[in-house]
Amino acid sequence: VFTTIEKASAHLENGAKKVVITAPSADAPMYVCGVNLENYNPCDKVISNASCTTNCLAPLAKVIHDNFEIVEGLMTTVHATTATQKTVDGPSGKNWRDGRGAGQNIIPASTGAAKAVGKVIPSLNGKLTGMAFRVPTPNVSVVDLTCRLGKGASLDQIKAKVKEASEGALKGILGYTDEQVVSTDFVGDVRSSI
């Protein structure tokens, strides 16, 4: 509802000192921790923190792109239920699938995360595309990134760079594990991406 500077500014007019839009915005400056936060201008009254999916995808894409150059990529998110989904089948004004019951279905959906990554990492603008599946879980989502690289790399080299970033510059934002975990193992985890 409040995803543009004009609409989000209504909060400023009613006493808020700053507004952070928690979705991609068409016109507000967009920031993702560990990716482009150094560009933050404290004078901006309205900013966007993109989306939860973008915050998961962007740190990973940054590490891979900085080390191996992403030429193009496809991201797929298997996304937990959101507040806008219906609990049982019902009418939907936008998209027929949006009216289907969240607890009974895997629902294909669109996502703006791939496009938003291009806004926070300009060298990836137009190089990523994506899709989403809404699944009947209450919390924790997954992003799968498949990409064509400009530089040759083995899986072990990519994993090593992700692990290195998770212990260094992106510690607390990007995590790394090779354990056999499931989604509920991450409930309460504050990192954006693991």
Q: Domain for residue 27, yes or no?
A: no
- Could you tell me how many helices (H) and strands (E) the chain has, helices first? 4, 6
What phi, psi does 31 have (nearest 5°)? -130, 145
Confirm whether 18 is domain-assigned.
no
pLDDT for residue 99: 92
**Residues annotated as catalytic (active site), given as ranges:** 52
What are 156's two structure tokens?
């072990």
Q: Are residues 38 and 64 in contact, defined by beta-carbon separation less than 8 angstroms?
A: no
Give the pLDDT of residue 184. 96
pLDDT at 177: 97
CA dihedral 8, 9, 15, 17 (to 10 degrees): 90
pLDDT recorded at residue 154: 97
| Angle CA 94–98–102, to nearest 5 | 165
Q: The pTM is what?
A: 0.92
User: First CA to last CA across the chain, in angstroms?
Assistant: 30
Look up tokens 């900085």; give the residue: 66
In a domain, 182, yes or no: yes
On whether the CB atoms of residues 24 and 116 are closer than 8 A, the answer is: yes
Regions of the chain where pLDDT drops below 50: none
Assign residue 119 the CATH number of its domain.
3.30.360.10
Domain assignment of residue 168, given as a range: 51-186
Residue 36 within any structural domain of the chain: no
Note whether residue 82 is domain-resident. Answer: yes
**Residue 172 belongs to some domain of the structure:** yes
Q: What's the number of domains the chain is made of?
A: 1
- What pLDDT sits at residue 94? 80
pLDDT at position 187 is 97
Cα 86 to chain center, whole Å? 22
Q: What is the DSSP string of 86-144?
A: BSS----SS-GGGGSBTTT--EEE--SHHHHHHHHSGGGTTTEEEEEEEES-SS--EEE
Paired with 193 in beta bridges are 174
Q: Residues 95-117: pLDDT tens digits?
A: 889 999 999 999 999 999 999 99
- Whether 149 is in a domain gets the answer yes
Q: Would you say residue 40 lies in a domain?
A: no
